[in-house]
Structure 1
Amino acid sequence: MRIAMWSGPRNLSTAMMRSFGARGDCACVDEPFYAHYLLQTGLDHPMRDQIIASQPHDWRAVRDALMAPVGQPIQYQKHMVQHMLPEVETDWLNGLVNVFLIREPERVVASFSAKRGAPSPAELGFCRQRELFQQLRTRGREPVVIDSADIRRAPEVALRALCKAAGIDFTERMLAWEPGAKPEDGVWGAHWYDAVNASTGFAGPEAELPVLEGKLANLAQSLQADYQAVAAHKLVID
């Protein structure tokens, strides 16, 4: 069973990797297309050189590694949707359980801008997430969509629903994990993962939506259509 979790930045994706890693029957992979993405886009991300040195550069080599035996019943692949550049073929995803992790644009824009300044729409991945979701829908198995706010509001209920939709058993081990870095973390974890490394479980419910102004408010508004198109298919968490 291979689960590909498709998220944008400043979402709950690393905490979800911790959750699946705590199961005891799951091998985790952290953003395997990151080096390819940086090389092709030329973006100057923190730890750029270390990231490029740590991973294969050819997307075909990444794909082949992701489809190799892993020694565990489940593989959890943590992906950033913006890393899937146009040249990366996606036929290999047909046999995976594809899960789309979404978050409201206002929260993503506020969180990203606090860390790295005003982002471009492409950096936040909403358009690419919608494109990939719609592409995979046409191929047979319906992708699973889950909202990070629902996970934070009711972790056990949300994870039970996610596991059922993915076709795996839920275990309470997914609700807590040991603090600290993990072997599967990408090298960029040294820059980005301080908060999750200090955590032992999911944070509490989200606060009220942040109030954005000016260009950030306009950016969040421009992302709403892509977000809503995917959100219309999200799991209903009672």
Structure 2
Amino acid sequence: MRIAMWSGPRNLSTAMMYSFGARQDFTAIDEPFYAAYLKVTGLDHPMRGAVLAAQEQDPALVPNGFVQDGARHLYMKHMAQHMVDGFPLDWAKDCVNVHLIRHPARVISSYAEKREEPRLADIGFERQVMLYEHLGGVIIDSADIRADPEGMLRKLCTAVNLPFDPAMLHWSAGPRPEDGVWAPHWYGAIHKSTGFAGPEGALPELSRAQQEVLEEAMPYYEKLFTKRIKLKRQI
């Protein structure tokens, strides 16, 4: 099995990669199209030079690295915004596609702490809807995972025809082998964790500029949100 997990940034995506990476039957890959995305767009992201040096920059060649390690499954963490027009997607048609979403207000607030005031294109919602419409797949919301990690992971595993493994609920603190070279800038909080954080509080307050991006992003989020695997708590 090859799982392509699509999300935007600041979206529980690294925790999900660690969760699957903690299974003995999975190998994980971290954002393999990042260098190609930076090369094509020319964007000045933190650690840009290190990312370009560490990864394949030709998008047509990136899928050559999507090779399973013997009998192990492959988990690929992908950023939706990395898949700019012209990047190959035929490889994904043979994958189990999962789409991870998070309320845009939380994404915008978290992203702004690490880089700059984001644009809609930086946080991936428009592109994620396009990917879902093109590839189909399963949708999960990060809030549901944080509310009930085991319950939602069990639901996800059932949806993709994979046995649940309790190892998915915990990992060792610190960097992991699957981390991309950009981890020192982006993964500070997750490196202190040993499992999924609990439910989040109220939505963050946003600046006027951030509020405008939120208004742009919400229709895309809501379109995916209505199709998500729903969390049903047992009483």
TM-score normalised according to structure 2 size:
0.96
Separation (CA, whole Å) in 1 of partners of 2:212 and 2:186: 26
Give the secondary-structure state (helix, strand or coil) at the position aligned to 1:28. strand
Separation (CA, whole Å) in 2 of partners of 1:106 and 1:154: 21
Selected match of 2:229 from 222, 230, 235? 235
Number of the residue aligned with 2:139: 145
Q: Which runs of 4+ in 1 moved over 3 A?
A: none
Separation (CA, whole Å) in 2 of partners of 1:76 and 1:69: 9
1:184-225 CA-to-partner distances (Å, cap 9, x unmatched) read: 111001111111111100001011111223111121011111
Separation (CA, whole Å) in 2 of partners of 1:30 and 1:104: 22
Give the secondary-structure state (helix, strand or coil) at the position aligned to 1:156. helix
AA aligned to 2:198 is G
Separation (CA, whole Å) in 2 of partners of 1:130 and 1:154: 25
Aligned partners of 1:27 and 1:72 also within 8 Å: no
Give the secondary-structure state (helix, strand or coil) at the position aligned to 2:99. strand
Give the secondary-structure state (helix, strand or coil) at the position aligned to 1:77. strand
Number of the residue aligned with 2:130: 131
Aligned partners of 2:139 and 2:229 also within 8 Å: yes
AA aligned to 1:104 is H
Give, in angstroms, the shift of residue 180 of structure 1. Answer: 1.2
Matches for 1:68-217 after TM superposition, within 5 Å: 68-137=67-136, 143-217=137-211
Separation (CA, whole Å) in 1 of partners of 2:180 and 2:158: 28
Number of the residue aligned with 1:140: none
Give, in angstroms, the shift of residue 177 of structure 1. Answer: 0.6
Separation (CA, whole Å) in 2 of partners of 1:185 and 1:102: 21
Number of the residue aligned with 2:212: 218
- Structural RMSD (CA): 1.0
| Cα gap change, 1:193 to 1:213, in 2 (>3 Å) | closer
AA aligned to 2:3 is I
Residue correspondences, number: 232
| Cα gap change, 1:179 to 1:195, in 2 (>3 Å) | same
Give the secondary-structure state (helix, strand or coil) at the position aligned to 1:60. coil
Can you give the 5+ residue segments of structure 1 that lack an aligned partner in the other structure? Answer: 138-142
Separation (CA, whole Å) in 2 of partners of 1:228 and 1:34: 26
Separation (CA, whole Å) in 2 of partners of 1:148 and 1:236: 11
Give, in angstroms, the shift of residue 147 of structure 1. Answer: 0.1
Aligned partners of 2:45 and 2:115 also within 8 Å: no
Number of the residue aligned with 2:64: 64
AA aligned to 1:6 is W
Separation (CA, whole Å) in 2 of partners of 1:124 and 1:136: 19
Aligned partners of 1:100 and 1:145 also within 8 Å: yes
Separation (CA, whole Å) in 1 of partners of 2:49 and 2:20: 29
Can you give the 5+ residue segments of structure 2 that lack an aligned partner in the other structure? Answer: none
1:71-124 CA-to-partner distances (Å, cap 9, x unmatched) read: 243110000001111111212111100000000011111111122221111011
Aligned partners of 2:11 and 2:142 also within 8 Å: yes
Number of the residue aligned with 2:49: 49
